[in-house]
Amino acid sequence: MTEIRFSGFGGQGIIRCGLIAGKALALFDNKHTTMTQSFGPEARGSACSSQLVVSEDRVLYPYITKPEILVSMSQEAYEKYEPELREDGILIIDKDLVNTKPPRGKIKTYAVPSTRFAEELGNRIIANLVMMGFFTAVTKIGTPEAMKKALPGLVPERFLDLNIKAFDKGYEYGLHVLDEEKSH
Amino acid sequence: MKKVKADPKGVLTGAHYLDGDFALAEGALAAGCRFFGGYPITPSTETAERFSERIPRVGGIFIQMEDELGSIASLIGAVWGGKKAMTVTSGPGFSLMMENIGLACMMETPLVIANVQRGGPSTGLPTLTGQQDMMQAKFGSHGDYEIIALSPDSPQECFDLTIEAFNLSETYRVPTFIMTDECVGHMHEKVVIPPADEIELVERKWYTGPKEAYLPYKPDKDLVPFMIKAGDGYRFHTTGLTHDERGYPVINAECQKVNVTNIIEKIRKNADKIIKIEEDQIDGAEVVLISYGITSRVAVRAVRLAREAGIKVGTMRLITVWPFPEKRIKELAPKIKAFIIPEVNYGQMVREVERSAAGKTQVFGVPHCGGWVHNPEDILNVIKEAVK
């Protein structure tokens, strides 16, 4: 079983990240997933998060308690959720938006300039898809094919190609980061 | 009871990633629901939203009513016009529906109401969870009556149990409730919708005899009277007043006895057929944990920890909450040390367990005021306390 938290600020598509990963793994990668979100009076700009439990069997307890993977796309979200990350967990951040403290325990940190890449592709709104590509590459939690297959219905149809491009960009960057890690 | 296959038009066959609220709407459409009247309220609004998009495409009607009093009234009308109908609401809206729920019971009108519960009382916690309307579902309207209520624990069950709710509602001509909550309503999981020909539906018990002989409230052998469709040429009368077999008001104790006995006994006498529960490791259990809806999934962790600590815990999940499985509780009571009932309320269904156990064993509630689910540790502590 793997517990994942996606976090950032409202408007970045953080809930969408949980939905894409949850749908991809459950429908196309043969896993069981439960996606929950903090459902409150959150507004654009404030901290927001979605939670995903991934399991080989049916997910019984549906909430995360000690996540193995934390994705943070904002400083506020990082500070709020980093303390709950497992000591041997994986931390994934937007390089330009999050300043990390010195690493704790055996936590592995992976950083991607997702917002910058998205802007280079023409629209910062797809930063979450760059992040999803990167997340898929470094965590190997699912296949990139499944993630991309999950997109129709979750992103506007007319932007599907752009979203896939963003995903690929993040995924390639993730593979590159893993290569570098290996050669060190 | 005539069974038919679902109309493929309403069935979105395939694997989907849906939240509980959307799954409720899909279950209804698969069950042949072609009328939705409702008033949006958090955290049930997504169901109404899904209906508004989907139901016109399958030849049904969506009406946003002026309020919840109107919503339930519109359902009663639609059902007498021959449709299968559903509405969805939450706490405050549920309260507003109470009077006409009684009318639907008295008129023996099959319809389905989903309550995506939130924390109350009053406006309470619009965006946060609760299981605080469990007693209201059974006793919220005035007078004596019976209803059926189911409690799903996942989006898949939101789909499955909505179909089941329609079938039960049609079988017994009774309002049937789906008592879910914000957690299940907003949780996304895989929902598999089977092909239409694998979905079995109960056809309304239509009257087919001579027109002049139709009696809308003459009970059949199973105590459930036949129904007709308004506009098909049958003369009929229906009312919320105490009525005879013709549906005409008769205001005396004798008729009241027949009328009220019928609407109650048609459910009580069939309770064994209606009730569905899920049991695990009950044989040899020291204590039995009873739960329903989201709490049954939260309790799983406490039960696992307790079993690891060597405590023999059996579990019983109430899929049907009303009618209450009192027979089974009564049967188990003398064999165990205690029942433990966690629920996201100050103690509601625990009273039914106490009543059914009738002093033959201890009964421990694990109350929670709402806004979030239990901490599994809190349930574990009560399990430990119970076996001391």
Contact B189 A34 (CB under 8 A): yes
Contact A41 B128 (CB under 8 A): no
Examine the fold and report which residue of B185, B202, B219 is the final residue of a domain before the chain moves on. B202
Residue A10 is predicted with a pLDDT of 86
Closest alpha carbon within chain A to B189: A34
pLDDT in 10s for each residue of chain B, 388 residues: 899 999 999 999 999 999 999 999 999 999 999 999 999 999 999 999 999 999 999 999 999 999 999 999 999 999 999 999 999 999 999 999 999 999 999 999 999 999 999 999 999 999 999 999 999 999 999 999 999 999 999 999 999 999 999 999 999 999 999 999 999 999 999 999 999 999 999 999 999 999 999 999 999 999 999 999 999 999 999 999 999 999 999 999 999 999 999 999 999 999 999 999 999 999 999 999 999 999 999 999 999 999 999 999 999 999 999 999 999 999 999 999 999 999 999 999 999 999 999 999 999 999 999 999 999 999 999 999 999 9
Q: Give the C-alpha separation, B49 to A109, whole Å.
A: 40
Closest alpha carbon within chain B to A16: B188
Contact B98, B140 (CB under 8 A): yes
Examine the fold and report which residue of B202, B229, B260 is the final residue of a domain before the chain moves on. B202
Residue B271 is predicted with a pLDDT of 98
- Domain membership flag for residue B84: yes
- Domain membership flag for residue B263: no
Contact A27 B298 (CB under 8 A): no
Residue A103 is predicted with a pLDDT of 84
Contact B189 A33 (CB under 8 A): yes
Instruction: Residue A112: name the closest of A50, A180, A49, A162 by CA.
Output: A180
What is the extent of the structural domain holding B325?
A: 276-387
- For chain B, say whether A4 makes contact (Cβ under 8 Å): no
Q: In the numeric block, which tokens belong to residue B304?
A: 């696992």
Contact B193, B30 (CB under 8 A): yes
- For chain B, say whether A152 makes contact (Cβ under 8 Å): no
- pLDDT tens across A58-96, in order? 999 999 999 999 999 999 999 999 999 999 999 999 999
Q: Are residues B194 and B280 in the same domain?
A: no
Q: Out of B17, B128, B298, whose CB is closest to A27?
A: B17
Contact A174, A137 (CB under 8 A): yes
Residues of B in contact with A35 (CB under 8 A): 17, 187-189
Q: Give the C-alpha separation, B176 to B289, whole Å.
A: 26
What is the Cα B133 distance to its own chain's centre? Answer: 11
- Domain membership flag for residue B230: no
Contact A62 B188 (CB under 8 A): no
Q: Are residues B11 and B129 in the same domain?
A: yes
HEC states along B343-371? CCCCCCHHHHHHHHHCCCCEEEEECCCCC
Which residues pair with residue B272 across a beta bridge? none
CB atoms within 10 A of CB B370: 24
Residues 6+ positions from B154 with CB-CB distance below 8 Å: B20, B184, B187, B189, B297
Q: In the numeric block, which tokens belong to residue B234?
A: 């049958």
Average pLDDT (A161-180) is 98
- CATH number for the domain spanning A66: value is 3.40.920.10
Contact A60 B128 (CB under 8 A): no
DSSP B373: P
- Dihedral of CA atoms A155, A52, B44, A149 in degrees, nearest 10, equals 30
Number of domains in chain A: 1
- CATH number for the domain spanning B59: value is 3.40.50.970
Q: Out of B17, B187, B376, whose CB is closest to A23?
A: B17
- Domain membership flag for residue B196: yes
Q: In the numeric block, which tokens belong to residue A183?
A: 């050669």
Q: What is the ipTM of this complex?
A: 0.95
Owner of token pair 């296959």: B5
Contact B61, B36 (CB under 8 A): yes
Contact A61 B300 (CB under 8 A): yes
Does residue B43 have a cis bond before it (omega within 30 degrees)?
yes
Interface test with A, best of B42, B190, B291 (most A CBs within 10 A): B190
Interface test with B, best of A17, A23, A32, A151 (most B CBs within 10 A): A23
Closest alpha carbon within chain A to B373: A63
Contact B188 A32 (CB under 8 A): no
- CATH number for the domain spanning B379: value is 3.40.50.920
Interface test with B, best of A30, A50, A60, A149 (most B CBs within 10 A): A60
Q: Helices in chain B by DSSP H: which ranges? A: 20-30, 45-54, 68-80, 91-106, 134-139, 155-172, 182-186, 253-268, 271-274, 294-308, 326-332, 349-357, 376-387
Q: Give the C-alpha separation, B368 to B341, whole Å.
A: 11
Q: Give the C-alpha separation, B156 to B18, whole Å.
A: 9
What is the extent of the structural domain holding A166?
A: 2-183
Closest alpha carbon within chain B to A23: B17
Q: In the numeric block, which tokens belong to residue B88?
A: 């969805």
Q: Give the C-alpha separation, A130 to B59, whole Å.
A: 41
Contact B27, B178 (CB under 8 A): no
Q: Give the C-alpha separation, B343 to B349, whole Å.
A: 8
Residues of A in contact with B190 (CB under 8 A): 26-27, 32-33
Residue B360 is predicted with a pLDDT of 98
Q: Are residues B148 and B39 in the same domain?
A: yes
Number of domains in chain B: 2
Owner of token pair 């020291």: B286
Q: Give the C-alpha separation, A10 to B118, whole Å.
A: 23
Contact A60 B183 (CB under 8 A): no
Examine the fold and report which residue of B187, B202, B217 is the final residue of a domain before the chain moves on. B202
Strands B313-318 and B85-89, by their bridges, are: unpaired
Burial class (CB in 10 A: 0-12, 13-18, 19+), A57: exposed
Q: Are residues B14 and B113 in the same domain?
A: yes
Q: Out of A36, A40, A60, whose CB is closest to B127?
A: A40
Residue A39 is predicted with a pLDDT of 64
Contact B189 A35 (CB under 8 A): yes
**Per-residue buried b or exposed e for B21-58, using 16+ beta carbons within 10 Å of the residue's own CB:** bbbbbbbbbbbbbbbbbbbbbbbbbbbbebbbebbeeb
C-alpha distances (whole Å) from B81 to each of B22, B85, B98, B104, B110 are 26, 10, 22, 14, 12
Residue B39 is predicted with a pLDDT of 98
Owner of token pair 């592709």: A121
Residues in chain A, how many?
A: 184
- Domain membership flag for residue B94: yes
Burial class (CB in 10 A: 0-12, 13-18, 19+), B135: middle
